[in-house]
């Protein structure tokens, strides 16, 4: 296991088709390698006891790596996540840093057990949703796994599949989400609103050829 030394090295390794160790995106001690959107209220993102805490506000925390240029194509992302009552969050991939607003590029994997939005944890937001009943309850750690290989996107919650979607050649993104398509890009964690209270830890990504 290693930390990301340079995004360029990561991309070269992946492009060459060699197996790579899991890259640790969150060191459990700091927000090194992460960059909050400028619209994020102060105190939205904290680190305590090895946990990345999202607490209220509306903003996004982007993984930019040590050189500010982190980018991924084929990968398997894993994290442990814990939601609290009415929390709403999301894990974006193939996205890019923005100062404000909802990420325009990439896909969002939903994190929500009891928020009023009926789209629940484990869904590919607005594309292949998990509706009404979340596969993981509040107040308990659960495993979130996202795999992207070629045009195929798969999601598992606690080892159980929730999404298996292949982006078609003639893909038309959902209305108002023109950037919701595969390409390359980084990850972002969403703090949806002032009621957001979500914990993340053991955030890693395995590079795929």
Distance CA(187)–CA(61), nearest Å, equals 8
Residue 147 has pLDDT above 90, yes or no: yes
pLDDT at position 159 is: 99
pLDDT at position 16 is: 35
pLDDT at position 20 is: 55
Residue of 120 and 16 predicted with greater confidence? 120
Contact between residue 12 and residue 194 where contact means Cβ atoms under 8 Å apart:
no
Structure tokens belonging to residue 186: 């980084």
pLDDT at position 1 is: 39
Residue of 11 and 124 predicted with greater confidence? 124
pLDDT at position 22 is: 87
Residue of 57 and 184 predicted with greater confidence? 184
Distance CA(189)–CA(124), nearest Å, equals 14
Per-domain residue ranges for the chain? 2-207
Cα 22 to chain center, whole Å?
16
Which residues, other chains included, contact 24 with Cβ-Cβ below 8 Å and sequence gap of 6+?
1, 2, 3, 4, 203, 204
User: What one-character DSSP code corresponds to residue 103?
Assistant: -
3-state secondary structure (DSSP) of residue 173? coil
**Residue-wise pLDDT tens digits, 2-55:** 444 434 444 433 333 334 578 999 999 999 999 999 999 999 999 999 999 999
**Residue-wise pLDDT tens digits, 66-106:** 999 999 999 999 999 999 999 999 999 999 999 999 999 99
CATH 3.40.50.720 fits domain 2-207: no
């Amino acid at each position: 296991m290693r930390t990301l030394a340079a995004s360029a090295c990561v991309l070269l390794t992946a492009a060459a088709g060699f197996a790579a160790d899991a890259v640790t995106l969150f060191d459990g001690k700091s927000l090194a390698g992460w960059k909050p959107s400028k619209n994020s209220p102060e105190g939205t993102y904290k680190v305590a006891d090895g946990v990345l805490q999202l607490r209220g506000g509306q903003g996004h925390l982007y993984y930019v790596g040590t050189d500010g240029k982190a980018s991924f194509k084929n990968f398997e992302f894993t994290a442990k996540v814990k939601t609290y009552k009415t929390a709403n969050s999301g894990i974006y991939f193939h996205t890019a840093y923005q100062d404000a607003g909802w990420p325009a590029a990439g896909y969002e994997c939903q994190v929500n057990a009891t928020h009023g939005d009926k789209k629940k944890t484990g869904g590919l937001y607005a594309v292949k949703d998990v509706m009404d009943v979340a596969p993981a309850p509040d107040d308990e750690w659960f495993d979130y796994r996202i795999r992207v290989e070629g045009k195929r996107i798969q999601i598992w919650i606690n080892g159980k599949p929730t999404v298996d979607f292949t982006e078609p050649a003639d893909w038309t993104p959902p209305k108002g989400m023109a950037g919701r398509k595969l390409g390359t890009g980084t990850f972002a964690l969403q703090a949806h609103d002032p009621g957001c209270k979500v914990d993340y830890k053991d955030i890693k990504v395995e590079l795929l050829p």
